[in-house]
Amino acid sequence: MIRNLSVGAKLTKKTTSEEKNTEEITELDLVDLTSAFQYYVQNSPRKLNNIAQQEIGRLVRWIGPEREIKTITPSEIGSYSDEFAKRTSTDTAPQKVAYIKKFLTFLKINELSSGNLASHLRMKKSNVGKITKKLEETKGAEINLTEAGYKDYEKQLKDYKTEMPTLAEEVRKAAADGDIRENAPLDAAREKIEMVNSKIYEIEAILKVANIIDSSSQGDQIVIGSKVTVKNHQSKNNQEYQLVEANEANPLVGKISSVSPVGAAILGRRTGDEVTVSTPAGEQVYTIDAIK
Tens of pLDDT, residue by residue over 205-234, are 888 888 888 766 566 889 989 999 999 998
> In terms of domains, do 247 and 177 share one?
no
Q: At residue 179, does pLDDT exceed 60? A: no
Measured between alpha carbons, how far apart are the two ends of the chain, in Å?
Answer: 73
* Domain end marker among 90, 106, 139: 139
Of 33-37, 110-114, 141-145, 283-287, which gets the smallest average pLDDT? 141-145
> In terms of domains, do 197 and 219 share one?
no
* Domain end marker among 181, 212, 243: 212
pLDDT at res. 13: 38
CATH of the domain at 189: 1.10.287.180
What is the average pLDDT across 9-20?
35
Higher pLDDT, 114 or 124: 114
Closest alpha carbon to 33 in 75, 1, 77: 77
> In terms of domains, do 11 and 132 share one?
yes
User: pLDDT class for 22, splitting at 50, 70, 90?
Assistant: very low
pLDDT at res. 266: 95
Q: At residue 199, does pLDDT exceed 90? A: no
* Domain end marker among 212, 236, 267: 212
CA distances 9 to 76, 115, 268, Å, are: 27, 18, 78
pLDDT at res. 103: 93
pLDDT at res. 290: 93
> In terms of domains, do 135 and 228 share one?
no
> In terms of domains, do 259 and 203 share one?
no
What is the average pLDDT across 24-43?
75
> In terms of domains, do 126 and 160 share one?
no
The one-letter amino acid code at 84 reads F
Q: Are strands 238-244 and 274-279 parallel, antiparallel or unpaired?
A: unpaired
> In terms of domains, do 117 and 225 share one?
no
Overall domain count for the chain: 3
Q: pLDDT tens digits, residue range 52-111?
A: 888 898 898 888 888 899 999 988 888 888 777 766 666 677 888 889 999 999 999 988
Q: At residue 190, does pLDDT exceed 90? A: no
> In terms of domains, do 165 and 130 share one?
no
The one-letter amino acid code at 250 reads N
Average pLDDT, the chain: 78
CATH of the domain at 83: 1.10.150
Domain extent, residue 134, equals 1-139
> In terms of domains, do 84 and 170 share one?
no
> In terms of domains, do 224 and 97 share one?
no
> In terms of domains, do 184 and 274 share one?
no
> In terms of domains, do 193 and 219 share one?
no
Q: Is 253 exposed, middle or buried (0-12, 13-18, 19+ CB in 10 A)?
A: exposed
CATH of the domain at 221: 3.10.50.30
What is the average pLDDT across 166-192?
72
